[in-house]
Structure 1
């Protein structure tokens, strides 16, 4: 008979780290005997092995008893921990009077019910002899049961998390184009599983959601799996209206472009209410904003000598992703709308001369930068020419306006008389004054801020009006050819001198 030394002060230390205890309901069958044992039990789950651990308590309220038989269902060992040794079987164990022993049984994790029967014998100390049956006084067989289903099944603690069950957390900063995604908990994804996440930014037509949208730069994508349990994502954000999305999946999930009535990310955006986006906790993973249009509308102007202005409209810039509708406005209510596709230019808008006083180029009802202009006379435009024909009786002045220009206003003044003419392009206007004592005529082009002085000095006239006849020059005959040659020279000189006469007077003799 085994009579090991008991120590009830030492807990079952070998089980403490792995067990989660809970008390089960135990039914005890008591024999019709004056001596019996009370049997109760508690159960815990060993998450390392996935087994249930039952702790049976056998209480002896009478004289010393010896366990003669043990029947367990399920049929697994029932042992008692003893100081100095790992454990001994419950069968054969001696239970002192008024003592309780704890015996441990391990059963499969899916066991629903356990039962323990303990047969014990009590000995009469006054009766001694060789016949063991004579020395025994009452014997009993007591039964205890426990329901193991109260806390569900018992399974080993997982060493990894299945990708389909994994949970995540994320951060998101749309204006900066940054995000992080992290696997929740201490367990990695099981096996070779990888879960990808992608951050993508777009050109957008408005600071609120609108289409079409075009991917800007290269999306940032990475995965969680293996030893990698946290990722950081960074993308460039355009300097204009934009949308930034943090989505569930790899770059193959990116939609480019986002168009009206087309595909959408929906619940794939992290932070959404539906799956899979709701499997990551954090802020909403999408952003719409930006302070200016994703276009680069520009305009240039070119004045023509005829008074018209050609307006060149361009939509060719690094952020020009959308067509631009320009409006060109001129004086007197003149207006024209021109649509320029991205990356293109239009050079066919001509503002008529009568409307070119003040020109504006607008986009979305606002004048664009550098979009105002007023016609300016080009420096290479030919100037009007002035010719003079002086006789002893008359002083004739002719203004000629080259073709391809604007009508020009000319003021002729001689003595106390002034004549004004408007000379059309390709035409001439002649004014004839009666010769007098004044030696200079003034020709002014006020619109061009030009003046020209023409000296009245006819040849061959005696007396007043033009001065004295130069000695040695005949009045008739060959002198007539000299006068004609002088007139031709005056034409050439007049043209040259007038070109040089801006903002100053030039004198020449006719």
Structure 2
């Protein structure tokens, strides 16, 4: 606020009586009141020096008389000078203000000055008239002037950042053109996690090595990048170094809160940019797998594993069999389970599911292993009967056997570890057929009685004796078979095997 105050500086000589002197004063002062200067001022802050710069403007009210500024009194008491282009500045005191004109002078005062004034005594050439004016300027509304800072205090610095969670990258930059003061450093850290879901869920475990760097001294910007797991993840850009990293993030554990850049509160809100956190991914951080093994008894053993570089969480498997059979099994990270056995009655189609979805290569139907022992067939024959015995080894499935001789067929189901015997009346047919439809196998057994039955075949009818070399061979073969009591057959699919008894 500018105020102008007029005050007579020099009293007029008074001669005579008081009344006459008073009248003279009025008479003389009247024309003096027409001669005056107007003083105004503006204020600016020099941030290089921290000084407040006052520019005083002194105007001459007279259009036909120049005014000489004979005395200049500033408050505060610092130099008041007039700039002269191309020459050194001159003091305001002694300066002539042309008729109807003005002059500007500059005064530098301390930056915390709250009020300043300038008192000027001016003398006009004609009539010897003089006048004293005072101009003031109120600086209380202005903030104190201070030198421009050359750096930013660590606790007052602000930043801006970018963040790309799906790529695992971020940048942080110090705002403004000034560095941080002294040796101050501000750390920032980018960290990625294994996560159980593509949204926020716990527990989470740090993946790889967090990226951490600082801003300070001549460094005003940094780039950060982290590796992401090939599964569900969380990525956080936080205020601070790696000592701030939380590993693991648990249900009731610590949280980053406003340490995340872009948060609504401090210190995260001291950096301007997008929210510095991300949740995403397209697959779980587990490695569920299944392996099927068919057993000779018709059951299926299912091996469940949760092993591999991605395995960080337990996996709940569901094993489903035919006829509504189901079993749930939980396998911890890095572990396997081989105790799940699907009963033979439910092993038609077996599925392994995780989160309601069938695993890749998670479907199997029982098939008989090639190394399962086959049933054996033994024969015994005399002139009246032809006996066939089917034995089924332990550890396998029951076997259906169809035995046919002389136009008659007998069917037996042979339990594992058991044998079934069928005796036929000897006849003219030279062979019997043994079919095992469950194994897709068919065999033949030759009727060869142990003694000469009169050359006529079965039924006790007389016949010519078998003689010569052929008779000797048959007798030897028959004797061997009787001694062994059984005939073992080569495993063959849909193959007819001929043997003699």
Calculate the TM-score normalised by the size of structure 1: 0.87
Asked if 1 retains the 8 angstrom alpha-carbon contact of 2:189 and 2:213, the reply is: yes
CA contact (8 A) 1:28 1:39 kept: no
Hey, what does 1:79 align to over in structure 2? 81
Deviation at 1:105, TM superposition (A): 0.5
2:483 is aligned, of 470, 473, 488, to 488
What are the residue-to-residue correspondences of 1:356-367 with 2, within 5 Å? 356-367=347-358
Label 1:94 to 1:339 Cα distance change in 2 as closer, same or farther (>3 A).
same
Distance 2:41 2:480 in 1: 142
Measured at CA, do residues 242 and 84 of structure 1 come closer, stay the same or move farther in structure 2, by a change above 3 Å?
closer
Tell me, yes or no, if structure 1 residue 268 matches structure 2 residue 259: yes
Q: Quick check: 2:305–2:335 contact (8 Å CA) kept in 1?
A: yes
Tell me the equivalent position of 2:452: 460
Residue 466 of structure 2 is matched in structure 1 by 470
Contact 2:397–2:415 under 8 Å retained in 1 = yes
Further displaced range: 193-202 or 78-87: 78-87
User: Does the Cα contact within 8 Å between 1:26 and 1:147 map onto a contact in 2?
Assistant: no
Aligned partner (choices 115, 118, 125) of residue 116 of structure 1: 118
1:386-418, Cα deviation, whole Å (9 max, x unpaired): 011111111111111112222111110112110
Question: Pick from 281, 306, 314: which aligns with 2:305?
Answer: 314
Separation in 2 of the partners of 1:484 and 1:283?
96
Aligned to 2:490: 499
Do the aligned residues in 2 keep the contact of 1:74 with 1:114 (CA within 8 Å)? yes
Stretch deviating more after TM superposition (259-268 or 54-63)? 54-63
* Partners of 1:324 and 1:363 within 8 A in 2: yes
Instruction: Tell me what 2:196 maps to.
Output: 205
1:171 alignment partner, SS class: strand
1:333-390 per-position Cα deviation (integer Å, ceiling 9, x unaligned): 3222111100011111122222222211111122111111222222221111101111
Name the stretch that deviates more: 426-435 or 28-37. Answer: 28-37
Q: Deviations over 1:202-256 (max 9, x none)?
A: 1111111111111111111111112211111111111111111111111111111
Superposed counterparts of 1:292-311, under 5 Å: 292-311=283-302
Equivalent pair of 1:28/1:38 in contact (CA under 8 Å): no
The equivalent residue for 1:132 is none
Q: For 1:435 and 1:415, how far apart are their aligned partners in 2?
A: 8
Which residues in structure 2 correspond to 1:256-405 (within 5 Å)? 256-405=247-396
Please give the secondary structure, in 1, of the residue aligned with 2:311. coil
- State how far apart, in whole Å, the 2-side matches of 1:392 and 1:358 are: 50
Distance 1:171 1:157 in 2: 29
Deviation per CA, 1:311-344: give whole Å up to 9, x if none: 1110001111000111112223322211110001
Q: Which runs of 4+ in 1 moved over 4 A?
A: 479-484
Instruction: Decide which of 421, 427, 447 is 1:436's aligned counterpart.
Output: 427
Aligned to 1:128: none
Match in the other structure for 2:151? 160
The residue aligned with 1:47 is 47
Query: Could you tell me how far 1:490 is from its partner in structure 2?
Result: 6.5
1:249 is the counterpart of 2:240: yes
TM superposition shift of 1:480: 9.6
Cα deviation, residue 447, structure 1: 0.3
Write out per-residue CA displacement over residues 28-68 of structure 1, whole angstroms, 9 at most, x where no aligned residue: 33535343322111111112111111111112234233222
Equivalent residue of 2:456, what SS?
Answer: coil
1: distance between equivalents of 2:142 and 2:464? 140
Given that residues 478 and 500 in structure 2 are in contact (C-alpha distance below 8 angstroms), is that contact kept between their aligned partners in structure 1? no
> 1:184 pairs with 170, 175, 196, which one?
175
Q: How many angstroms does 1:263 deviate by?
A: 0.9
Deviations 1:256-286 (A, max 9, x none): 1111121111111112222222222211111
Tell me the distance in 1 between the aligned counterparts of 2:406 and 2:219: 101
In 1, Cα distance between equivalents of 2:480 and 2:228: 77
Instruction: Give the root-mean-square deviation of aligned CA atoms.
Output: 2.2
Q: 1:163 to 1:333 in 2, by over 3 A?
A: same
> Which stretch shifts more, 67-76 or 93-102?
93-102
Q: Is the 8 A contact 1:401 1:407 kept in 2?
A: yes
Q: Name stretches of at least 5 consecutive residues in structure 1 with no aligned partner.
A: 1-23, 125-135
Query: For the Cα contact (< 8 Å) 1:327–1:336, is it kept in 2?
Result: yes
Q: 115-124 vs 311-320, which deviates more?
A: 115-124
Residues 488/333 of structure 1: CA separation in 2 closer, same or farther (3 Å cut): farther
2:4 to 14, 20, 27: 27
Deviates more, 1:42-51 or 1:136-145: 136-145
CA 1:204 to 1:167, structure 2 compared with 1: closer, same or farther past 3 Å?
Answer: same
Contact 1:26/1:41 (<8 A) preserved: no
Mapped partners of 1:488, 1:423: distance in 2: 24
Distance in structure 2 (CA, Å) of the matches to 1:468 and 1:275:
117
Question: How far has the Cα of 1:468 moved from its partner?
Answer: 5.1
- Residue matched to 1:19: none
Match of 2:25 in 1: none
Structure 1 CA distance, aligned partners of 2:289 and 2:475? 63
